[in-house]
């Protein structure tokens, strides 16, 4: 249904009518199956271009090939986030008008390739929206640790770049699929499951939960192998473990870190402006307009910039930040 009040009856600290009248709400929450399909096609097209650039880089001299390869590798990490944002849109039922488009098509073409699930993420994410900054906000581990010292933040990014965070995250995914840990999409300390299983039940649960991810990734490998560049699949995995970890951390910092720890959406969530580089990495599909997304969560991603401009003109939301400003605030450089 295209009605924000059925999804989030109360914006934390406000009502929907504090920001939009009925006609404005209807306009900004209008959805399009064509735009949803284009979003999926465009994300996978950029993934294909990144693979092509990395394949081309392997044929060039080192001085030309290495920079091109690194650009493709970083963009590939950003496309992992783009797939996650497609899943995020589908979890809000805003990517497509149809339930099938959100729950089935997006699950297979966006969530499963990155070892996730629209249904599981939806259950997790709705709790975040209704309880942002609360102690039981499942995303709180992503932003509550800041600010930290510049040295501490540098070490966090170094662990991300080296793949240490990614290894921990993937190990957590294995244990969640097996039923050892409670499922969570946040990077933190997952909770153990309340009941124990026999060893073979863990194995069965793992394959039952992850077979679709194994299948979609096998198909991706076969497509790359058929083109003569099967080794690029390793880059897909390493991009998930390294640049993706950096990108996810910076995105999480930008959304809620170092803001007021109060139950008021305007004060605990921010929008961050992004250029072309940002949109290829930390801010795909307009996810950087995070304040507007939290205010009117049934707004499709492509209407968020216009919603931001509309509310900004009426002084109902503050101007957006820059990513440099976010890093300064989170590293105590902005005292």
pTM for the model stands at: 0.92
pLDDT tens per residue, range 220-254:
999 999 999 999 999 999 999 999 999 999 999 99
Say whether pLDDT at 24 is over 50: yes
How many Å is the Cα radius of gyration of the chain?
Answer: 20
Residue 107 DSSP code: I
Q: Would you mind telling me the total number of residues written for the chain in this entry? A: 335
- Per-residue model confidence (pLDDT) at position 190: 54
Q: Give the integer Cα–Cα distance in Å for 215 and 227.
A: 19
Sorted by where each begins, the domain ranges of the chain are: 4-159+210-330
pLDDT attached to residue 183: 82
| Per-residue pLDDT tens digits for 165-205 | 999 999 999 999 998 888 877 655 555 555 677 878 889 99
Other Cβ atoms closer than 10 A to 258: 20
Please name the residue ranges forming H helices in the chain: 4-7, 22-28, 33-57, 62-91, 99-100, 106, 118-130, 140-143, 150-161, 164-178, 199-226, 232-241, 243-256, 265-268, 276-280, 290-295, 304-313, 323-330
Model confidence at 285: pLDDT above 60? yes
The SS3 assignment for 61 reads coil
């Amino acid at each position: 249904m295209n009605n924000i009040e059925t999804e989030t009856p109360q914006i934390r600290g406000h009502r929907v009518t504090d920001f939009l009248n009925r006609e404005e709400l209807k306009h900004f929450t209008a959805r399009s199956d064509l735009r949803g399909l284009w979003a999926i096609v465009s994300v996978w097209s950029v993934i294909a271009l990144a693979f092509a650039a990395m394949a081309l880089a392997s044929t060039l001299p080192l001085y030309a090939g290495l920079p091109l390869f690194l650009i493709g590798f970083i963009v590939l990490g950003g496309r992992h986030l783009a797939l996650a944002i497609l899943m995020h849109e589908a979890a809000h039922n805003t990517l497509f008008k149809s339930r099938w488009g959100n729950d089935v098509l997006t699950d297979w073409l966006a969530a499963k390739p990155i070892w996730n699930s629209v249904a599981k993420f939806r259950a997790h994410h709705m709790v975040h929206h209704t309880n942002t900054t609360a102690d039981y906000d499942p995303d709180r581990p992503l932003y509550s640790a800041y600010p930290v010292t510049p040295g501490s933040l540098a070490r966090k990014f170094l662990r991300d770049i080296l793949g240490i965070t990614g290894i921990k995250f993937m190990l957590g995914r294995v244990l969640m699929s097996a039923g050892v840990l409670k499922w969570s999409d946040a990077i933190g300390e997952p909770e153990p499951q309340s009941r124990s299983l026999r060893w073979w039940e863990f194995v069965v649960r793992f394959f039952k939960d992850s077979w679709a991810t194994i299948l979609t990734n096998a198909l991706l490998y076969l497509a790359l192998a058929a083109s003569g560049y099967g080794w690029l699949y390793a880059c897909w995995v390493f991009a998930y473990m390294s640049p993706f970890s950096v990108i996810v951390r910076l995105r999480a910092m930008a959304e809620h870190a170092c803001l007021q720890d109060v139950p008021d959406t305007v004060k605990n969530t921010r929008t961050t402006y992004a250029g072309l580089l940002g949109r290829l990495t930390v801010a795909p599909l307009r996810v950087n307009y995070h304040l507007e997304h939290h205010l009117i969560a049934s707004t499709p991603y492509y209407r968020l910039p216009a919603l931001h401009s509309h509310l900004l003109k009426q002084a109902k939301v503050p101007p957006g930040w820059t990513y440099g400003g976010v890093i300064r605030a989170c590293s105590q450089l902005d005292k």
